[in-house]
Structure 1
Amino acid sequence: MKITKIFTFDSSHMLDGHDGKCKNLHGHTYKLEVTVSDGLISGGAKDGMVMDFSDLKTIVKQEIIEPFDHAFIYHGGNERESKIAALLESWQMKTMRLDIRTTAENMVVYMYSRLKAAGLPVSGIKLWETPTSCAEFETSL
């Protein structure tokens, strides 16, 4: 059995060295779809649920939404992106350092791993960067 909850958050990033417009600092309103798979709970207040949607929301907000929302997401291994982050941090602005290039594909794998490490029985994540472009990671892929 699977359930899915959808979240949104706003972040900025850049892809230094990219051969298109994404080399520039820009932002997205991301849509994140998180799917968890498990058996149905039997008995108690959550009888008949895979997981309470409220519990799912709490974990995703803590692990993904709060760190990423309204942050400059940057590749900590990239000198130019790190310099921009340092400048923003000196102005007490929010940043989120990743050890990977901040493509939707890399970020969806990172988010999946982070939710798994938090104990969530996540089976798939879809990260929409624009209304028509997304990256997806599933355990069956």
Structure 2
Amino acid sequence: MGKRPSKKTTKREEGHCCRYRTAVSAFFSAAHNLKNYKGACENLHGHNWKVEIVVGANRLNENQMVMDFADMKQILSDVLSALDHKYLNELPEFENKNITSEFIAEYIASKVKQKLPKSISLCEVSIWESDNSRTTFSP
């Protein structure tokens, strides 16, 4: 029997971001509606969104941390302040987009990533639009 070719996987494909991972969460309230969608969510409606960011590093810093929780919370707060108590469909950056949970998670990830130190990786962003509905984006 011949050998089966082995598939090399990356850490990301295996579900790992980094050796160490740290998470913080925060909330924001906003309204949106889905375009080209047949259902209740095509109408204007709102959510109290929960957002969790997970950052990682392969080595701890001089304080034996991935990143200080206070710094992570500040970054997340800064990003969410642009969304809080807004009608998301009217934001210039969201023009002509379908404002799904997946889209919002990717948007938040792009903004958080810009604010992180180079030594820190953004592993994932999860958002909940309700207690039992969540989406996760891994950049």
Same fold (TM over 0.5): yes
Cα gap change, 1:22 to 1:134, in 2 (>3 Å): same
The structure whose Rg is larger is: 2
SS in 1 for 2:82: helix
Structure 1: distance between partners of 2:71 and 2:122: 13
- The Cα RMSD (Å) is 1.5
Matching residue of 2:68: 52
Structure 1: distance between partners of 2:50 and 2:38: 25
What are the superposed Cα offsets for residues 76-120 of structure 1, whole Å, 9 maximum, x if unpaired? xxxxxxxxx4xxxxxxxxx56414210001111111111112235
Identical amino acids, percent of aligned pairs: 29
Contact 1:126 1:135 (C-alpha < 8 Å) held by counterparts: yes
SS in 2 for 1:40: coil
SS in 2 for 1:117: helix
Contact 2:25 2:73 (C-alpha < 8 Å) held by counterparts: no
Structure 1: distance between partners of 2:48 and 2:124: 20
Contact 2:50 2:127 (C-alpha < 8 Å) held by counterparts: yes
Residue 60 of structure 1 deviates from its aligned partner by: 1.0
- One-letter amino acid of the counterpart of residue 84, structure 2: D
Greater shift after overlay, 98-107 or 30-39? 98-107
Unaligned runs of 5+ in 1: 75-84, 86-94
TM-score normalised per structure 1 = 0.76
- One-letter amino acid of the counterpart of residue 110, structure 1: Y
Matching residue of 2:83: 68
Matching residue of 1:123: 123
Matching residue of 2:38: 19
Among 102, 105, 120, the residue aligned to 2:102:
105
Equivalent residue pairs, number: 115
Matching residue of 2:50: 31
SS in 2 for 1:18: coil
SS in 2 for 1:68: coil
Matching residue of 1:133: 133
